[in-house]
Amino acid sequence: MRALLLIPLLALGAPALAQSAPYDAPAIPPAVLDPALPEQLGRMAGALTHAFMNLPVGELEAAIEGRPPSPADRRKTVGSETRRDNPYAERDIQRDVASSAGMVQQSARAMQRAMPAVQRALGEAAAEIGRATANLPDPTYPRR
């Protein structure tokens, strides 16, 4: 019943919601077009992998099992657990990350080349929407 009382209040706000401001496509951030970005992404992938391998997991495992963490739990990391089954796991992961860094760099370069075209297309779409909606009746205009 109370919800029915709110309907007239929502109707008052409808004209304000119906009006749309012209859309300006956002500017491309300069950092995205920085020529050094692809190389930075490649280096970051290696650093993130190293940080992930050193992530402590033993206390989390103990919490999931519902027991207090032991000193051995406090020493467990993702790297120590992966090395337990494969002593070369960390080296293999670093090698995989290094080989995929080239792919990340190529993707970043492709994105940088595509950004001006995407920006232009967004601007054209915004202009087209503006032209299409320019002659719509104003919902706040008094009716006779």
Could you give the CA distance from residue 46 to residue 69 in angstroms, rounded to a whole number?
Answer: 30
Q: Which pLDDT tens digit goes with each residue over 103-126?
A: 877 888 888 888 888 888 988 998
pTM, whole model, 2 decimals?
0.48
Please tell me which residue, 16 or 136, carries the higher pLDDT value: 136
- Determine the pLDDT at residue 76: 92
- Determine the pLDDT at residue 42: 76
Residue 45's nearest CA partner among 96, 82, 86 is 96
- Average the pLDDT over 68-75 and give the result: 93
Could you give the CA distance from residue 19 to residue 132 in angstroms, rounded to a whole number?
Answer: 14
Cα angle 96-101-104, degrees, rounded to a multiple of 5: 125
Q: Which pLDDT tens digit goes with each residue over 11-65?
A: 444 444 444 455 565 667 777 777 787 778 777 887 888 888 889 999 999 999 9
Residue 22's nearest CA partner among 141, 133, 138 is 133
**Cα Rg, the chain, nearest whole Å:** 28
- Determine the pLDDT at residue 64: 92
In the predicted structure, residue 95 carries a pLDDT above the cut 50: yes
- Determine the pLDDT at residue 123: 87
In the predicted structure, residue 82 carries a pLDDT above the cut 80: yes
